[in-house]
């Protein structure tokens, strides 16, 4: 059980990072003022309960509407307030600065109640949270009247005012008595000022004259030449000061214990106030994020389809985004996206997945309109994933991640994969890409994948419930438009771009022949070569060998699907032949075709292959053409 939980947690963290939801969290947290809300954001996961998700979506919408109507809510940080209330209940006495924090909390509650009450005129559902808040005006007033500037106020009680007044007058008399003693014995003084040493008012007396001054030695200077003496007249008043200070301390303690008891009596109400304020802080943080992203509330469905109009990536500036129109589900569960490099394929799949993730976390989405299904999991393979610490190659890292995805995926998952089958031999990578898509299709999940492989595009074209999509490319400006067209396969445009940028024709021909498996002709050498002194043996050209290898009528296996077809046109100079498959004919590289049964073993020498390759209608037209002129046209002729 722990292993499964750890695996799910690792996948969640991996997905958050790949889709950049961790960056959304960081932005979201800046709008939270309480630790409670910040912790909820850190631990936020998708809602799997429809009612819970719809309620949270409504909260986000209501918060945004309230902010738009009434301004930002007067929420404050409540760090430490809960501990202070707990101490009042358990330990018995709060310090003045702690009571001041309680008063600050209640002031914030009063302001929040007034703010919510204002929202009732707009019939905003959040406004009725006001009924769950109690500002405790009596307690707040008592604390405000008796505690100021972090200490008990002089006028907190009549007795405290009297004691502090008498204490201040007595201390003033003590200074006067000390100054009188200094004037009377000025010749004995080491300086003309009095000072406080160990809580006693003292006068500085020269060591040799200390016997001439009535009083007690309290301290000595570092050199020992001066002694600090408390005059006898001052000592009599010092006793009175000590009595008054004891009375002051007792009265302050009484006041603090009284206020603490009042806080303890209202502990349950204070706890409810904090709980509601923290809940509102979390709700309003979602509304603030929606405003920051200029987002809208999505529709939620359980019918396994996603429809987004004018979608954009939440982390990209709005003015730089090209709106994305996207639909998956219903008639097609999977989309295979192709197009040129830097054409926006990765941004497109991230935009779709990230907006779905936002919606299922109860947040608004960056679209003009969106209807998004609930998903059980979000599984991603984006980027090369290379790990030096684990000594994994790019391809190995991809496969490891893909295997984890295949092991976790179910019919309610959303899977996003970038550059399927990349990082290895193209032929084998293509086969693995098709195998991955087939596995995802069997699971019944919704999936988005990007690729450059022609064979993967063909797989999407012939496979039910899988569609091609392409990212548009402006061939005039040689720039991608970042617009997606669903239902059409794209192309890399590499040859076109190279041609427009000035690549010589001979190099383009070489590239095309290499790409299609026909090698490079001698006459298209990169540069004129000097006559070789080495005589080369005569060899049969590769195209001639291929023509001998594949004849019309040969039964062949089309890889990697192992489908059986019949060769209807032999290999051309580009190394491509045409094969008749059930219901269609395809052009395919000879590298992906394997001889199954030669035509000579299947048909007699004079066999009419039009019986195999032509429709009945076409055969009749062809037969008529052999006998007379006709206006009819053979269908599918090229």
pLDDT digits (tens, 9 = 90+) for 103-129: 999 999 999 999 999 999 999 999 999
Give per-residue pLDDT as tens, 132-158: 999 999 999 999 999 998 899 988 899
Tell me the Cα Rg of the chain. 43
pLDDT at residue 529, as a whole number: 39
CB crowding 349-361: b at 16 or more within 10 Å, else e:
bbbbbbbbbbbbb
The angle at the Cα of 339, spanning 334 to 341, to the nearest 5 degrees, equals 125
Instruction: Give CA–CA dist 99/141, Å, rounded.
Output: 12
Confidence band, pLDDT 50/70/90 cuts, at residue 185:
confident
pLDDT at residue 535, as a whole number: 43
The helix or strand, by DSSP H or E, that contains position 555, with its residue range, turns out to be strand 555-558
pLDDT at residue 85, as a whole number: 94
Phi, psi of 481 (to 5 degrees): -95, -10
For 531, other C-beta atoms within 10 Å of its C-beta total 4
Confidence band, pLDDT 50/70/90 cuts, at residue 376:
very high
Tokens of 534: 């080495």
Range in 456-460, 574-578, 583-587, 631-635 the model is least confident about: 631-635
Confidence band, pLDDT 50/70/90 cuts, at residue 619:
low
Q: List Cβ neighbours of 341 (8 Å cut-off, separation of 6 or more).
A: 492
Contact 355, 372 (CB under 8 A): yes
DSSP annotation string for 445-456 = -EEEEE---HHH
For 403, other C-beta atoms within 10 Å of its C-beta total 11
The angle at the Cα of 615, spanning 612 to 619, to the nearest 5 degrees, equals 90
Nearest to 472 by CA among 497, 448, 493: 493
Higher pLDDT residue, 357 or 458? 357
- Read off the pTM: 0.71
pLDDT at residue 534, as a whole number: 35
Nearest to 565 by CA among 553, 547, 548, 551: 553
pLDDT at residue 214, as a whole number: 85
Nearest to 315 by CA among 335, 298, 295: 295
Contact 321, 71 (CB under 8 A): no
**What's the Cα-to-Cα distance from 569 to each of 150, 551, 598, rounded to whole Å?**
95, 8, 14
**What's the Cα-to-Cα distance from 315 to each of 25, 124, 255, 320, 327, rounded to whole Å?**
11, 29, 54, 11, 21
Contact 392, 414 (CB under 8 A): no
pLDDT for residue 309 is more than 70: yes
Instruction: Give CA–CA dist 111/87, Å, rounded.
Output: 25
Instruction: Give CA–CA dist 308/328, Å, rounded.
Output: 9
Q: Compute the mean pLDDT over every residue in the chain, rounded to the nearest whole number.
A: 83
Q: List Cβ neighbours of 156 (8 Å cut-off, separation of 6 or more).
A: 145, 146, 147, 252, 255
pLDDT for residue 166 is more than 60: yes
pLDDT for residue 7 is more than 90: no
């Amino acid at each position: 059980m722990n292993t499964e939980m750890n695996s799910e947690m690792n996948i969640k963290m991996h997905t958050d990072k790949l889709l950049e939801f961790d960056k959304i969290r960081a932005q979201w947290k800046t709008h939270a003022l309480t630790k409670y809300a910040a912790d909820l954001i850190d631990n936020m996961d998708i809602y799997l309960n429809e009612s819970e998700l719809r309620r949270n979506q409504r909260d986000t919408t209501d918060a945004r509407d309230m902010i738009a109507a009434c301004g930002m809510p007067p929420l404050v940080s409540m760090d430490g307030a809960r501990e202070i209330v707990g101490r009042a209940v358990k330990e018995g006495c709060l310090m003045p600065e702690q009571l001041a924090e309680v008063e600050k909390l209640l002031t914030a509650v009063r302001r929040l109640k007034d703010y919510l009450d204002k929202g009732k005129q707009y019939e905003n559902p959040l406004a009725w949270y006001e009924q769950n808040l109690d500002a405790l005006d009596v307690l707040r007033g008592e604390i405000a009247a008796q505690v100021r500037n972090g200490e008990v106020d002089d006028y907190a009680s009549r007795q405290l005012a009297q004691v502090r007044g008498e204490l201040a007058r007595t201390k003033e008399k003590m200074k006067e008595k000390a100054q009188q003693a200094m004037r009377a014995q000025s010749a004995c003084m080491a300086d003309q000022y009095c000072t406080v040493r160990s809580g006693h008012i003292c006068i500085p007396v020269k060591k040799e004259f200390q016997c001439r001054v009535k009083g007690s030695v309290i301290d000595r200077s570092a050199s020992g030449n001066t002694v600090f003496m408390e005059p006898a007249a001052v000592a009599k008043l010092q006793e009175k000061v000590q009595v008054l200070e004891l009375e002051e301390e007792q009265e302050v303690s009484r006041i603090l214990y009284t206020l603490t008891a009042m806080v303890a009596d209202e502990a349950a109400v204070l706890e409810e106030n904090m709980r509601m304020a923290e809940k509102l802080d979390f709700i309003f943080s979602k509304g603030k994020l929606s405003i920051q992203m200029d987002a809208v509330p999505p529709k939620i469905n359980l019918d396994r389809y996603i429809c987004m109009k004018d979608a954009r990536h939440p982390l990209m500036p709005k003015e730089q985004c090209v709106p994305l129109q996207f639909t998956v589900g219903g008639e097609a569960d999977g989309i295979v996206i192709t197009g040129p490099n830097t054409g926006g394929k990765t941004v497109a799949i991230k935009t779709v997945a990230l907006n779905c993730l936002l919606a299922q976390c109860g947040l608004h989405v960056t679209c003009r309109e969106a209807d998004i299904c609930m998903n059980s999991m979000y599984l991603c393979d984006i980027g090369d994933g290379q790990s030096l610490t684990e000594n994994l190659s790019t391809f190995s890292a991809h496969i490891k991640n893909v295997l984890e995805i295949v092991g976790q995926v179910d019919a309610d998952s959303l899977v996003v994969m970038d550059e399927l089958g990349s990082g290895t031999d193209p032929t084998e990578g293509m086969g693995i890409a098709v195998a991955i898509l087939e596995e995802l299709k069997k699971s019944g999940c919704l999936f988005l994948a990007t690729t450059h492989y022609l064979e993967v595009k063909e797989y999407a074209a012939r496979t039910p419930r899988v569609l091609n999509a392409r990212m548009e490319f402006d061939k005039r400006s040689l720039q991608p438009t970042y617009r997606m067209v669903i239902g059409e396969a794209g192309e890399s445009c590499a040859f076109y771009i190279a041609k427009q940028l000035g690549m010589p024709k001979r190099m383009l021909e070489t590239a095309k022949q290499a790409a299609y498996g026909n090698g490079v002709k001698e006459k298209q050498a990169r540069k004129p070569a000097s006559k070789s002194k080495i005589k080369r043996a005569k060899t049969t050209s590769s195209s001639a060998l291929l023509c001998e290898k594949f004849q019309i009528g040969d039964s062949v296996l089309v890889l990697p699907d192992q489908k059986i077809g019949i060769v209807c046109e032999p290999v051309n100079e580009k190394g491509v032949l045409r094969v008749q498959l059930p219901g269609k004919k395809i052009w395919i590289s000879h590298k992906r075709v394997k001889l199954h049964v030669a035509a000579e073993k299947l048909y007699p020498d004079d066999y009419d292959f039009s019986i195999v390759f032509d429709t009945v209608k076409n055969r009749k037209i062809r037969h008529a053409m052999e006998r007379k002129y006709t206006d009819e046209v053979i269908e599918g002729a090229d």
